[in-house]
Amino acid sequence: MSDEREDPVKAGLEKFLAAFPRGPVKSEIVPISKAIHRVLSKEIRSPVDSPPYSRSIIEGYAVNAQDTLSASQDRPVILNRIGEIRPGATRMKGIASGTAFQVATGSLIPSSACGIIRFFDCELKEERLSVKKAVQPGENIELQGCDLKKGAALLPKGKLLTPADIGLLASVGISKVPVSIRPKVAIYSSGNEVIPLSRKMTPGNIWDSNAYSLAAAVAESGGIPHFKGIIKDDFNLFKKELKKGLKTADMILISGGTAVEGRDFVADLIQSLGKPGTINNGLPMRSGKPMVHGAVGKKPVVCVAGHPPEALRGFTLFGKPALNQLMGRTDS
């Protein structure tokens, strides 16, 4: 059995996505405060080591670890507490043998030969510190670059940025990032029976709810919706309007109007606008007939059913993946 028979939606989607290139169409630089749910257009590498300096991960005393190797409960090692390394201190020469500095979580540690002794493993009396347990070099210290080395891959091209990603970027000092532009989507409603919300309802008509739900779905998926109006079932008029839309939009989205008086109306429209033309003219699935997909040049065209629930379903199955491809998203 062929893949198309096993999963007509998957097969149809693969054919459709192969008809136009993967993005990003264009990219722009945005501050990370505005980068949430945007798609990276380039790989990001860390400009610094992370953490950028060695620092204590506990409160206690920084000591020269070599001094403590013989320390025990019965035979503590006596060191002189000669100061404190406070968080935010930027310079520290080192810790001489026989001395100790009180530290807090996050305090800069000057040397990998140091270790941090916990408060409960020592006792301080009149600046004399009795160390009752040996510590190893680097113990209780987060060493510079232990999470990331400068130049290491941070976030891949094509990733949709999450709140955690934004925090990661800020943690290495990155304030701006390159992202894919939000594709412009021209949205058309079709059908002689479709009327705007401003018109009074009369028998035989339906209010245009798809214009609003599809615009919201486009925005939620990362695109910029532009509603172009309700187009009547007039082939030449519709073709003229679509040509206008293709000049400024990156994608066309149509609801309804798949067939008029027995003619494959939208399929013929797409085919008439240019190559590669119509890719899917209906799919062998429930409510699959109204689904028509194609491309004009590098721009995808998606037609979904006029019935509102099926319109959104069609967009989820084909419109959203098309937007992801235009943005170059790779983690969808």
Residue with tokens 């916990």: 118
3-state secondary structure of 164: helix
Residue position matching structure tokens 């891959």: 153
The 10s digit of each residue's pLDDT in 256-267 is: 866 665 567 888
Q: What integer pLDDT is reported at residue 261 of this predicted model?
A: 58
DSSP letter (8 states) at residue 319:
I
**306/211 Cα distance (integer angstroms):** 10
10-44 pLDDT, tens digit per residue, is: 999 999 999 999 999 999 999 999 999 999 999 99
The class (CATH top level) of 27-47+154-180 is alpha beta
Q: Are strands 224-231 and 128-131 parallel, antiparallel or unpaired?
A: unpaired
Reduced to 3 states (helix: H, G, I; strand: E, B; else coil), residue 193 is coil
Four-way CATH pick for 3-25+182-327: 3.90.1150.10, 3.40.718.10, 4.10.490.10, 3.40.980.10? 3.40.980.10
pLDDT over 70 at 4, yes or no: no
Q: How far apart are CA 158 and CA 251, in angstroms?
A: 19
Domain-wise residue ranges, the chain: 3-25+182-327, 27-47+154-180, 55-142
Spatial distance between the Cα atoms of 138 and 116, rounded to a whole number of angstroms: 8
If one counts every other C-beta atom within 10 angstroms of the C-beta of residue 122, the result is 23
To the question of domain 55-142 being in CATH 2.170.190.11, the answer is yes
What is the Cα–Cα distance from 281 to 271, expressed in whole angstroms?
A: 11
Taking only the tens place, the pLDDT of each residue in 149-189 is 999 999 999 999 999 999 999 999 999 999 999 999 999 99
The pLDDT tens digits for 294-330 are 999 999 999 998 889 999 999 999 999 999 999 999 9
Confidence of residue 2 (pLDDT cuts 50, 70, 90): very low
Averaged pLDDT score across all residues of the chain: 91
pLDDT of residue 215: 98
As given in the structure block, the two tokens for residue 280 are 């899917």
The whole-number pLDDT of residue 7 equals: 85
Task: State which amino acid sits at residue 64.
Answer: N
Q: How many CB atoms lie within 10 A of CB 264?
A: 17
Note whether 305 and 311 are within 8 A (CB): yes
Q: How far is CA 130 from the centre of its chain?
A: 52
Cα-based distances in Å from 111 to 95, 121, 238 = 8, 21, 73
Task: Please tell me if the domain spanning 3-25+182-327 has the same topology as the one spanning 27-47+154-180.
Answer: no
